[in-house]
Structure 1
Amino acid sequence: MSDPEEAVDALDARLLLLLSDEPRLGVLECSRRLGVARGTVQARMDRLERRGVLRGFPPEVDLAAIGYRLTAFAVLEIAQGKRIEVAERLSAIDEVCEVHATTGEGDLLVRMVARSNADLQRVIDEVVDVRWVQRTSTSIALSTPIPPRVRPLLERVAGRPETAPS
Structure 2
Amino acid sequence: MVGADIVCNSTSNQYTTCTPRGRIVDELDATLLRLFSAEPRIGVLEASRRLGVARGTVQARLDKLSRAGVTAGWGPVLDPEALGYPVTAFLTLEIRQGSGHETIARHLSTIPEVLEAYTITGAGDMWCRVVARSNADLQRVIDAVLSDSGIVRSSTVIALDTQIRHRVLPLLDAAVARDHEPDASSPANRS
CA contact (8 A) 1:10 1:157 kept: no
Deviations 1:86-127 (A, max 9, x none): 011100000000111111111111000000112100000011
Query: Does residue 71 of the first structure (1) align with residue 70 of the second (2)?
Result: no
Partner of 2:125: 107
Partner of 1:87: 105
> Which among 2, 5, 19 is matched to residue 36 of structure 2?
19
Q: Amino acid of the residue matched to residue 139 of structure 1?
A: V
> Which among 109, 131, 144 is matched to residue 162 of structure 2?
144
Partner of 2:139: 121
Post-superposition offset of 1:6: 4.5
Distance 1:80 1:7, change over 3 A: farther
Tell me which structure has the larger Cα radius of gyration.
2
SS of aligned partner of 1:146: coil
Larger helix fraction of residues? 1
Query: Does residue 60 of the first structure (1) align with residue 60 of the second (2)?
Result: no
TM-score, L = length of structure 2: 0.77
TM-score, L = length of structure 1: 0.88
CA contact (8 A) 1:14 1:154 kept: no
Partner of 2:47: 30
In the TM superposition, what are the counterparts of 1:2-17 in structure 2 within 5 Å?
4-17=21-34
Q: Which runs of 5+ in 1 are unaligned?
A: 160-166
Q: Amino acid of the residue matched to residue 68 of structure 1?
A: Y
Distance (whole Å) between structure 2 residues aligned to residue 150 and residue 88 of structure 1:
27
Percent identical among aligned pairs is 56
Distance 1:41 1:124, change over 3 A: same
Distance (whole Å) between structure 1 residues aligned to residue 59 and residue 117 of structure 2:
33
Query: Does residue 134 of the first structure (1) align with residue 152 of the second (2)?
Result: yes
Q: Which runs of 5+ in 2 are unaligned?
A: 1-19, 178-191
Distance (whole Å) between structure 2 residues aligned to residue 48 and residue 5 of structure 1:
13
Count of aligned pairs between the two proteins? 157
Distance 1:30 1:86, change over 3 A: same
Partner of 1:163: none
> Which among 59, 84, 98 is matched to residue 42 of structure 1?
59
Q: Amino acid of the residue matched to residue 66 of structure 1?
A: L
SS of aligned partner of 1:42: helix
SS of aligned partner of 1:7: coil
Task: Give the CA RMSD over aligned residues.
Answer: 1.6
Post-superposition offset of 1:134: 1.1
